[in-house]
Amino acid sequence: LRGDEGTYRGGITLAQNLPNNDKPSLKIGGGRRNVYHRQIRISTSPEAKIKRQKRLDATLCKELHQYYNQEADHWFTIGHENVHSLGPKSGTEALGKYKNIIEENKADMGSLALLDVLVELGMYSPEEKKQILVTYAADNFLKAKPNLSQAHRVRTVMQSKYFLENKAVWLNEDGVLEIDMEKMVPTAQKMLAEIIRVQLSKDFATGEKYVLDNFVWTDEMEIISKKLKEIDKSLNGTLKTPLADKLAQEI
């Protein structure tokens, strides 16, 4: 990225259709075309790279930095999008306003829960599995508590709380994130089983209770949040376009 866009926007998300993207959907008799897209996140500016390193230094145990890899976020997202095509395929509408929050949780946990199988199949190496786990955990803390209308962010809080409770992640005495690699996949599998049971219940009250029980902003999240805001106080990106603004005024 160059110019104003490169200066004020450190990353961009693209969507790329994978080859034969309809075939898997047709074969299983369901799914969506966009499940077979690949998301690509690119951080290009020097400022973005410096900010990312500051964030890691402030929030992630130094020994785990070697496993942080932005490419691993792509691998995780491929799993996430494909898990959306797995069941339950009907009845989740009964979960009402919690449907999307629960579904996004399912997709994330499915992506992690399948990692051991994918390593056995040779899709990922054991090293790449560690990269996926560390990158996921390190990026799963927010600057501020979201509201219930933000499904993707709400699921992030729910997952962080769940992994903290299950001792898969924790903050050490320096207030930085530690990760138990051996507990990450089993914890994801445990949460995935709970989520699918909620979806199969087709019951609004069950879904509401599950979300509200896990949508808890913990002390650990607050500690990380304060550190993230010290590095970057903005909650949303901004784009300054003086030329466009000037032209708009002259029209």
Structural domain that includes position 135:
51-232
Q: Which long-range contacts (CB under 8 A, 24 or more apart) does 99-102 make?
A: 99/207, 100/151, 101/148, 101/151, 101/154, 101/155, 101/158, 101/211, 102/195, 102/198, 102/199, 102/207, 102/210, 102/211
| Residue 178, H or E segment | strand 177-179
Q: What pLDDT does 52 receive? A: 87
- Structural domain includes residue 11: no
- Structural domain includes residue 193: yes
**In angstroms, how far is CA 116 from the centroid of its own chain?**
19
Question: How many domains, the chain?
Answer: 1
For residue 199 the two structure tokens come to 């979806």
Write b or e for each residue in 36-54: b if 16 or more Cβ atoms lie within 10 A of its Cβ, otherwise e. Answer: bbeeeeeeebeebeeebee
CA nearest neighbour of 56 among 228, 186, 245, 237: 228
Helix/strand/coil for 134 = helix
- Structural domain includes residue 68: yes
| 241: number of Cβ within 10 Å | 13
Contact yes or no for 166/179 (Cβ under 8 A): no
- Structural domain includes residue 31: no
What backbone phi and psi angles, to 5 degrees, belong to 192? Answer: -60, -45
Q: What pLDDT does 21 receive? A: 52
Contact yes or no for 191/105 (Cβ under 8 A): yes
- Structural domain includes residue 43: no
- Structural domain includes residue 41: no
Angstrom distance (rounded) from CA 180 to CA 158: 18
CA nearest neighbour of 129 among 187, 75, 53: 75
What's this model's pTM, rounded to 2 decimal places? 0.80
- Structural domain includes residue 139: yes
pLDDT digit of tens for each residue in the chain (251 aa)?
455 555 555 455 554 444 445 565 566 665 554 444 444 455 556 777 888 899 999 999 999 999 999 889 888 988 888 888 787 878 889 999 999 999 999 999 999 999 999 999 999 999 999 999 999 999 999 998 988 888 889 999 999 999 999 999 999 999 999 999 999 999 999 999 999 999 999 999 999 999 999 999 999 999 999 999 888 765 544 455 677 778 878 87
- Structural domain includes residue 198: yes
